[in-house]
Amino acid sequence: MNLERFPAGSVYPRSVTEVDGTGFALVRRDGAKLLVVQGNADGFQGEWEGEHCFCPMSPANATVLRQRLAWLRPQPLGVSKSAGCGDRLGLATPGHIRAFRRTGELAPIFAQQSMRENARTGRSPQQVLDDAMWGVFQEGWHEAWGADADHLKTTADIDLCVKAGYTFYTIDPGDHVDNEAHVAAKELLDSKVQSLPWDVLDDSPESLRGRYLSTQFELEEMELVFDDISLARAAAKYGGAIAHTGEMYRHLVARMGSRVFELEVSVDETETPTSPLEHYFVASELSRLGVQWVSLAPRYVGRFEKGVDYIGDLAEFDAALAQHAAISRALGPYKLSIHSGSDKFRVYPSFARHAGALVHLKTAGTSYLEALRALAEAEPDLFRSVLSYALERYAEDSATYHVSADPGKVPLPESLPTEQLAGVLDLFDGRQVLHVTFGSVVVRFGARLMAALEENEEVHYRALERHFIRHFEPFLRHKGV
């Protein structure tokens, strides 16, 4: 591809490629990124200048480019060790790729965002996937990568993501988990069990008891035994969630047709932990209903709050995780998924030790926080405005998150010298305040924030690369990078 006439530094060198005699590259011109096509530009929308067609990074051009370059299409990743990198701003994928390149071993999911996050940022599933794809193109990533339609609760959510081209679907039946059953007395449990949707479950209370009672389930060095109470508790707590997951899965199968996809089941955003016995019950019943999945996210013991490290007893966590991992090997194999996995450095060694390659690390808000770290360095006055507004919004925005920050412990932005601004992101309370207010911040400061990050993209990418290497390194067989 002839790029000699382009100014030095205007071409993203890893993007330059040629397929079937047509050249493609990403360039920066007048502060904007453009796709350049030299050769067959059929289907692209753009303007010709000499032998080059300059095309905006539009949805239509993204679709055509995916058709031309196979590596820009997301793919299923199987049960290989993997990590998902949420990107609430649509600018982080190049930084994520650089971290994956440095560390190896983990298969990447670059497009990942929940419907809740989409609503708060004003983005669509299609935009999330397209933004990730442009980052893949910019960095010349030719290996397999996935796209996660995260925390889907309705069939309408599924339809949007199927249309956009996602390959990985995370079903979140948390609204159908009965948390009261965790501590309910036997009489109430029996009533709850009788009220389950037995037609959807294709089951009956009698058949359920016949499968689980008076039976010992031996898994490696572990033995699981249900009694009347533990079985009733597991069924009452998770029966509705299992039924909902089965319905969502069947809908997804019908919508995908012949297209290959992967499923994750998530019960992590619930009030009470998933015991190993309950994990076994959920996995066994999903399998009985014909649901196939590659990863499952229990609600682990302890607290997985947003934006901060694990809170809880590490010995207790490690012992429970060993049992969860044994179940995932025996009833799968499938991966254990770590939701709210950002910055949980205390428990990563336990996952590496017990789950091995059967692990999926899911991160989201930590990429946004690293964008703010880059902002503190590049545009300190804008960072001060963001922090001030986040402190105003925290009380309302935190209502739907598992967080415990005290905004009163966060330094006021006007009191901090420039060189100390980024340090707010290293404080427990500061990280959570900034983490959960992203939607409000994007609404008010989105254009200025995006412009600052695009103007200082290398600062942004370096911050992401450093941060994600720290996330990935505990999962590597060889620790050096």
Indicate which residues carry an active-site annotation. Answer: 150, 264
* 195 φ, ψ (degrees, to nearest 5): -90, 0
Rounded Cα gap, residues 96 and 90, in angstroms:
12
108-137: b (≥16 Cβ within 10 Å) or e = bbbbbbbbebbebbebebbbbbbbbbbbbb
Closest CA to 145 of 182, 201, 94: 94
Enter the tokens of residue 429: 């309370």
Helix (H, G, I), strand (E, B) or coil at 397: helix
In this structure, the number of other CB atoms found within 10 A of the CB of residue 139 comes to 22
Residue bearing tokens 């069990």 = 193
DSSP code of residue 61? H
- Given a contact cutoff of 8 angstroms between Cβ atoms, the answer to whether 194 and 101 are in contact is no
DSSP code of residue 7? P
Distances (CA, A) of 456 to 127, 139, 376, 377, 463: 22, 17, 11, 10, 11
Largest CA distance in the chain: 80
Distances (CA, A) of 292 to 61, 174, 319, 321: 34, 19, 27, 22
Rounded Cα gap, residues 199 and 178, in angstroms:
19
